[in-house]
C-alpha cells in the first residue's frame, strides 16, 4: 500500500456514458480506494465539436450517480490542473519544445512528427503480462491545424499529473508502444499499465456498442435501478472475488480488489445477472430507503398515494420488498393497495368464473372474515382454516385465489395473509363485497 499511487479516468465526453467507460472509471476508483491512492478525473476534450458542456454533464452526473467520487478534477480542482485538455495548451507547447530540443520532433507537410527510437517496447502489463511491440514509423503528434494528437496529450498529461498506474480498456493496448516511446523520449518514468478486458455484448459477437440494450448508464438511471447494484454488477465485468460471490457490499470489493482478480479474457454482458443483483440489493435495503426510492416511481405511474398515510405506504412496501424484481415493476405489483377500485385482470376473472363456485366462495369469505375482530395475520389465517374445516377440507386452498382476486384483481402478488392484514379489515371486506357485485352484474 502506498499513499502515492495516482490513477486517472480520462474520458472523452461524447454525450453518452457507456458501460465500458463506467467500468474503466470504476476499476480506477476501486484501485485508488483499495490502495489509499488518488483518483484523478481528466477530461480529454480536444474534439471541440463533440465535447460540449452537455456531454460533460452526462458524464459527471453518471459518475456521481454511481458514487465514483474523484479526488482531483472538474469542480474539485487539485495541484495538477487544469484537468481539461482544452485548457492545457501551454503544457503541450512546452513539452513539444522538449522533444524538439532533443531532436525527437520534426515538421513535415505542416504536421509535427515524433521520431521513434525503433526499439522494441516492452511492458509488464498487470493483467496481460509481458507485451512487446515495436513501432515502425514516426507518428504525428500535432496535426497541420495545430491541434495535438491523442497519444501526445495523453502521455504529457499522465507525466505532468504524476500518474503512477494507467488502468484502461484493452483497446488501448496497441497504443501503449507509442506511449512508452514518448515516455522514454521525455526521460520520464513509465507508469504501471493494466489493460482491462473488453465487454462483449450478450448475444452474438463483438464489443458492446452504445446501441445495445443496457450499454448506457443513463438507461439504468431512468429505469430506477439502484446505483449500488449497477456498480456491483460493473465490478463483476472483468473482476471477481474467486469464490463465486456476486452480491457484495462495495466496502468488501474495495478491500479485495486487485489486478490479480481481473480476468484476461473478455467479459460478457449479462442482463439477467444485472437484474438479479439489483433485486438482491433492493431486498437488502432498509424499509425507509426502499420507500423513499419507490415513492416517486409510484407517483409517476399515477398511483394515488395522497392521504394513504406513511405507515400504510411503508407496510405495503415491506410486502413488495420481499418479492420485488425491480422498482419499475412496483406500480403494477402494488398499485391496487392504493386505488379506490380494483381493476380485475379479465384472464384471472375468467379462470375463476369457470370453476363455477366464485360467488359462493366470496360469500363464505365475507362471512368468515367479518367475524375476525383482531385483524392480524394469524387470526385471518385461522378464519381460512375454519372455512376449510367446515367444508371438510384439509386446507383452505379453494378460498385463496378468490380472496386474492377480490382484493387485488390479480392472480399473484405478495403473500396473502400479510397482504390482507396490511390492506385492513374495512378495505378487504368492502372489496370482497364489490367483487361479488362485479360477478352478479356480469
Ligand atoms: N480518452 C481516452 C479514452 O477515452 C483515454 C485513454 C486512456 O485511458 O489512456 O479512451
Write out pLDDT tens, residues 230-266: 999 999 999 999 999 999 999 999 999 999 999 999 9
For residue 168, the ligand 1 atom closest to its alpha carbon is 8
Cell numbers for 347, please give them.
Answer: 384472464
Domain residue limits, the chain: 88-196, 217-282, 286-337, 346-441
The answer to whether the CB of 154 is under 6 A from ligand 1 is: yes
The answer to whether the beta carbons of residues 153 and 89 sit under 8 Å apart is no
Per DSSP, the chain holds a count of helices (H) and strands (E) of: 18, 11
Percent helix, strand and coil across the chain, each to the nearest 5: 50, 15, 35
Active site residue 300: no
Gap from CA of 255 to ligand 1 centroid (Å): 26
Contact 172 CB / ligand 1 (< 6 Å): yes
What is the spatial distance between Cα 187 and Cα 116, in angstroms, rounded to a whole number? 14
Pairing of strands 139-142, 111-114: antiparallel
Tell me which residue has its CA closest to atom 6 in ligand 1.
10
pLDDT over 80 (residue 3): no
pLDDT of residue 441: 58
Residue 138 alpha carbon to ligand 1 centre in Å: 21
For 2, other C-beta atoms within 10 Å of its C-beta total: 8
| Residues 8-21, mean pLDDT to the nearest whole number | 95
The per-residue pLDDT for 442 is 52
Residue 52 pLDDT grade (very low, low, confident, very high; cuts 50, 70, 90):
confident
Cα 167 to ligand 1 centre (Å): 9
Q: How far apart are the CA of 278 and the centre of ligand 1, in A? A: 29
Say if ligand 1 is within 6 A of residue 37 CB.
no
Evaluate: CB of 11 within 6 angstroms of ligand 1. yes
Which of the residues 76, 102, 210, 347 is marked catalytic? 210
Strands (DSSP E) found in 56-191: 105-108, 111-114, 120-125, 129-134, 139-142, 165-169
Q: Which atom of ligand 1 is nearest to the CA of 44?
A: 1
Q: Running DSSP on this structure, what letter comes out for residue 148?
A: B
Q: Ligand 1: which of 123, 163, 172, 196 to mutate, judged by most atoms within 8 Å of the beta carbon? A: 172
Q: How far apart are CA 29 and CA 35, in angstroms?
A: 10
Question: What's the grid cell of residue 228?
Answer: 449500488
pLDDT band, residue 51 (cuts 50/70/90): confident
- Looking at the structure, give the CATH architecture of the domain made up of residues 88-196: 3-Layer(aba) Sandwich (3.40)
Q: How far, in Å, is the centroid of ligand 1 from the Cα of 105?
A: 23
Q: Which atom of ligand 1 is nearest to the CA of 9?
A: 8
Q: Is the CB of 168 under 6 A from ligand 1?
A: yes
Phi, psi for residue 43 in degrees, rounded to 5:
-100, 115
Mean pLDDT in residue range 283-289? 95
Nearest to 80 by CA among 64, 91, 96: 91
Alpha carbon distance 379, 13 (integer Å): 60
Greater confidence, 47 or 400? 400
Is 346-441 assigned to CATH 2.120.10.30?
Answer: no
Q: For residue 37, count CB atoms less than 10 angstroms from its CB and return exposed for 0-12, middle for 13-18, buried for 19 or more.
A: buried
Instruction: Report how far residue 241's alpha carbon sits from residue 232's, in angstroms, rounded to the nearest whole number.
Output: 12
Q: Cα of 360 to ligand 1 centre, how many Å?
A: 70
Burial class (CB in 10 A: 0-12, 13-18, 19+), 358: buried
- For the segment 132-187, what is each residue's pLDDT rounded down to a tens digit? 999 999 999 999 999 999 999 999 999 999 999 999 999 999 999 999 999 999 99
pLDDT in the model for residue 1: 43
Report the separation in Å between the CA atom of 172 and the middle of ligand 1, taken as the mean of its atom positions.
8
Q: Is the C-beta atom of 163 inside 6 A of ligand 1?
A: no
Convert the pLDDT of each residue in 351-406 to its tens digit. Answer: 999 998 999 999 999 999 999 999 999 999 999 999 999 999 999 999 999 999 99
What percent of the chain shows pLDDT beyond 90? 90
Looking at per-residue confidence, does 347 or 325 come out higher?
A: 347
The CATH class given to the 217-282 domain equals mainly alpha
Q: For residue 93, what are the CA distances in angstroms to 41, 96, 99, 151? A: 22, 5, 10, 15
* Structure confidence by residue, pLDDT tens digits, 197-223: 999 999 878 899 888 989 999 999 988
Grid cell in block for residue 316: 405495503
Give me 162's grid cell. 504524476
Residue 275 pLDDT > 90: yes
44 Cβ closer than 6 Å to some ligand 1 atom = yes
Q: Which atom of ligand 1 is nearest to the CA of 167?
A: 8
Atom of ligand 1 nearest to the CA of 24: 8
Locus of grid cell 492545457: 88
Amino acid at each position: 500500500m502506498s499513499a502515492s499511487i495516482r490513477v486517472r479516468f480520462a474520458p472523452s465526453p461524447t454525450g453518452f456514458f457507456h458501460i465500458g467507460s463506467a467500468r474503466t472509471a470504476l476499476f480506477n476508483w476501486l484501485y485508488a480506494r483499495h490502495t489509499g491512492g488518488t483518483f484523478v478525473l481528466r477530461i480529454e476534450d480536444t474534439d471541440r465539436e463533440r465535447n460540449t458542456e452537455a456531454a460533460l454533464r452526462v458524464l459527471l452526473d453518471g459518475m456521481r450517480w454511481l458514487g465514483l467520487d474523484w479526488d482531483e478534477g472538474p469542480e474539485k480542482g487539485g495541484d495538477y490542473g487544469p484537468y481539461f485538455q482544452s485548457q492545457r495548451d501551454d503544457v503541450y507547447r512546452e513539452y513539444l519544445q522538449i522533444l524538439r530540443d532533443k531532436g525527437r520532433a520534426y515538421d513535415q507537410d505542416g504536421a509535427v512528427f515524433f521520431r521513434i527510437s525503433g526499439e522494441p517496447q516492452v511492458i509488464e502489463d498487470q493483467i496481460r503480462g509481458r507485451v512487446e511491440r515495436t513501432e515502425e514509423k514516426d507518428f504525428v503528434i500535432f496535426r497541420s491545424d495545430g491541434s495535438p494528437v491523442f497519444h501526445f496529450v495523453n502521455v504529457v498529461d499522465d507525466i505532468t499529473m504524476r500518474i503512477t498506474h494507467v488502468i484502461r480498456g484493452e483497446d488501448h493496448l496497441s497504443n501503449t508502444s507509442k506511449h512508452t516511446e514518448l515516455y522514454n523520449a521525455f526521460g520520464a518514468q513509465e507508469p504501471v499499465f493494466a489493460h482491462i478486458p473488453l465487454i462483449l455484448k450478450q448475444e452474438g459477437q463483438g464489443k458492446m456498442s452504445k446501441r445495445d440494450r443496457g450499454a448506457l448508464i443513463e438507461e439504468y438511471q431512468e429505469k430506477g435501478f439502484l446505483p449500488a447494484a449497477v456498480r456491483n454488477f460493473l465490478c463483476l465485468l472483468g473482476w471477481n472475488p474467486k469464490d463465486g460471490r456476486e452480491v457484495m457490499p462495495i466496502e468488501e470489493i474495495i478491500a479485495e480488489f486487485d489486478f490479480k482478480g481481473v480476468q484476461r479474457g473478455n467479459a460478457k454482458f449479462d442482463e439477467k445477472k444485472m437484474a438479479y443483483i439489483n433485486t438482491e440489493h433492493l431486498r437488502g435495503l432498509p424499509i425507509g430507503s426502499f420507500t423513499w426510492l419507490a415513492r416517486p416511481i409510484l407517483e409517476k405511474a399515477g398511483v394515488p398515494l395522497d392521504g394513504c398515510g406513511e405507515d400504510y405506504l411503508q407496510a405495503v412496501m415491506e410486502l413488495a420488498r420481499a418479492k420485488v424484481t425491480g422498482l419499475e415493476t412496483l406500480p403494477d405489483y402494488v398499485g391496487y393497495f392504493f386505488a379506490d377500485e380494483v381493476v380485475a385482470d379479465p384472464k384471472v376473472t375468467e379462470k375463476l368464473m369457470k370453476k363455477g363456485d366464485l360467488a359462493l366462495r366470496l360469500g363464505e369469505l365475507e362471512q368468515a372474515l367479518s367475524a375476525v375482530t383482531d385483524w392480524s395475520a394469524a387470526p385471518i389465517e385461522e378464519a381460512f382454516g375454519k372455512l376449510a374445516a367446515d367444508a371438510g377440507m384439509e386446507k383452505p386452498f379453494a378460498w385463496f385465489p378468490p380472496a386474492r382476486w377480490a382484493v387485488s384483481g390479480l392472480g399473484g402478488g405478495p403473500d396473502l395473509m400479510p397482504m390482507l392484514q396490511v390492506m385492513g379489515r374495512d378495505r378487504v371486506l368492502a372489496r370482497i363485497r364489490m367483487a361479488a357485485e362485479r360477478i352478479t352484474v356480469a
